[in-house]
Structure 1
Amino acid sequence: MKITYDPRYNIAYISLQEKTAQVETIQVSEEMNVDIAPDGTIYGIELLNANQQLTADNQGKVIVVNQALGESSEIKIAL
């Protein structure tokens, strides 16, 4: 999994796997699109207005938590 963020356009993309097939983009809401392959595989999630969605209550940080190991790491997002 890879998360990319472009502060110029305030868009984040959560890539769950490399795009190896033609995907269809489905608009879930005004702020989220999902890329899905014909077999139903989800390739990625695009977040528009990303800084507000990703940092809503975390003081400008994305927090990634590994529940199994009880570990977490923080990534600062430009506001």
Structure 2
Amino acid sequence: MKLTYDPRYNVAYIYLQEKTAQVETIQVSDQMNVDIAPNGTIYGIELLNAHQQLGADSQEKLIVVNEALGKSAEIQLAL
């Protein structure tokens, strides 16, 4: 899995799998799109207005936690 964030456009994309098939983009809401293959495989999630959706309004950072290892990492989000 990979998360990308572009502060210029305030868009994040969560890559769940590498795209190996043609996908359809489904608009879930005004701020979220999902890329899905005909067989139901979800390849990724696009977050528009990502800064707010990632909960970074008050912290200006994203915290990624690996529960199994008990480790975390902080990523600064700048507008």
TM-score, length of structure 1 as denominator length: 0.91
Note the C-alpha offset of 1:9: 1.2
Partner of 1:78, secondary structure, is coil
Note the C-alpha offset of 1:54: 1.1
Q: What is the root-mean-square deviation in Å for CA atoms of aligned residues?
A: 1.3
Amino acid at match of 1:55: G
Gap change, CA 1:18 and 1:45, over 3 Å in 2: same
In structure 2, C-alpha distance between the alignment counterparts of 1:49 and 1:69, rounded to whole Å = 30
Q: Which stretches in structure 1 are left out of the alignment for 5+ residues?
A: none
Matches within 5 A, 1:1-79: 1-56=1-56, 59-79=59-79
Count, aligned residues: 79
Gap change, CA 1:56 and 1:8, over 3 Å in 2: closer
TM-score, length of structure 2 as denominator length: 0.91
Partner of 2:19, secondary structure, is coil
Identity level (%): 80
Partner of 2:34, secondary structure, is strand
